[in-house]
Structure 1
């Protein structure tokens, strides 16, 4: 279990890659972002993307799943007060393999609730070509190690 004290400013975390399928792009879009370039290959060819691509929200969701499976789920996470910055830099296409890297940029104990603290992390997701597809800065609340 990782606690607040286990997150050190400057610490870099690399996570296992995740490949995105056409089927999951369409399924997500059907439920949450039903725009033609996320749903229909022929319509997507006529879009500025030139082909079917994932919703930015889908890409952010994939990032969250990677974080929960590989870090948050094994930590004393208490939720998040929010995201400060989220950017979709390039589209994600079927077959892209996404690589996520995070860096702790701040770690502090709460002034009002000393049993917890807040970690600020900067994330960058790249595709298999090394192109950045998503960046995000977010805060996470974590319990302090029990004494």
Structure 2
């Protein structure tokens, strides 16, 4: 099976949600993005954000974590139905990454993926490049992140 056979082009698929806790925000930021507004609640309160907020990279990592859990469940579902799930490979990159608003402690972000395009890789039969719109919205329906990702698929 191919991704485009499972998920029609331009149909948004909800991957799941992620709760950003203060402890998780600080733990991630201390390791990967130690800005004061990510690691110190008091300093964050006095920053332009007005409160402790997640690193943008944390927001991206949570999209990937949510996607991986979704994909593992999908692969199990497909195998139970007697189908062979598409083999996904590495990503040749992403573009147009946008962080629209901060993600604060207590926010729940719902992530989605929309297959935009799936094309044969010219010189390599059986290899495709899928283009996916990756998005996250908070509990108020406000967009917090969006980017376009590429992923290799082996048919």
Q: TM-score normalized by structure 1?
A: 0.91
Q: Does 1:79 align with 2:90?
A: yes
1:4 and 1:125 mapped to 2: Cα distance?
Answer: 21
Alignment of 1:13-28 (within 5 A): 13-28=13-28
2:55 and 2:64 mapped to 1: Cα distance?
Answer: 14
Q: Give the counterpart of 2:132 among 108, 121, 124.
A: 121
Checking the alignment, whether the CA contact within 8 Å between 2:16 and 2:112 is kept in structure 1 is no
Q: Could you list the runs of 5+ residues in structure 1 that have no partner in the other structure?
A: none
Q: Which has the higher strand share?
A: 2
Q: Could you list the runs of 5+ residues in structure 2 that have no partner in the other structure?
A: 76-85
Match of 1:3 in 2: 2
Match of 1:33 in 2: 33
Q: TM-score normalized by structure 2?
A: 0.86
Following superposition, which runs of at least 4 residues in structure 1 exceed 3 angstroms of deviation? Answer: 2-5, 72-75
With 128-137 and 108-117 compared, the bigger mean Cα shift is at 108-117
Count of residue pairs brought into register by the alignment: 143
